[in-house]
Structure 1
Amino acid sequence: MPFLSLIIDVLAFGGLYLTRQGSLPTVLGLGLQIIFTIILLIFVFGYRGRRKGRFNFDTWSHVFTLPFALIVISFIGNGLLAFLYYLNYAGINSLIMR
């Protein structure tokens, strides 16, 4: 799953690049980004590996393992990108397409 999340990140970057160049309509880019975000949400909840590392007594916290952290960071990044796509599509803020 971590490898698949990295592949989804590359595909999302490709979609953003094509949208910024004008080859891909914004609506299609928004749809793809929402699909990628939903897939990553399924990965976050469906991950069967070890999620947390050892307990750190200095900070009194657990730390995510690297594979699970890759999935979570990918999900957060793609979710933010989907939100920016929506803001651009609604005409509220065109920051992402400049």
Structure 2
Amino acid sequence: MKGISGLFEIHGATVVPIVSVIAPEKLSASTRRRYETQVQTRLQTTLANLHQKSSEIEILAVDLPKETILQFLSLEWMLMNRHLTQL
């Protein structure tokens, strides 16, 4: 994940995070720890905000090859765009 702050797009009432995928072996240990801390901080803030609005929160963390994650993200993006154009 490249830098976290400010990486969100707003589509109507939906806030969509912008995600960058970097293979962990390409990161130095200190950079990886810094990104992990940034992600954890962002998740804690987001969860606190979501908890005020909803009683159900789902989080999925996976350890998959970069190509597989990118395929899932592109599929999710296509489905979301299709849904938004139907609104």
- What TM-score results when the alignment is normalised by the length of structure 1? 0.37
Q: Which has the higher contact order (CA 8 A, sep 6+)?
A: 1
Larger radius of gyration: 1
- What TM-score results when the alignment is normalised by the length of structure 2? 0.41
Q: Which has the higher helix share?
A: 1
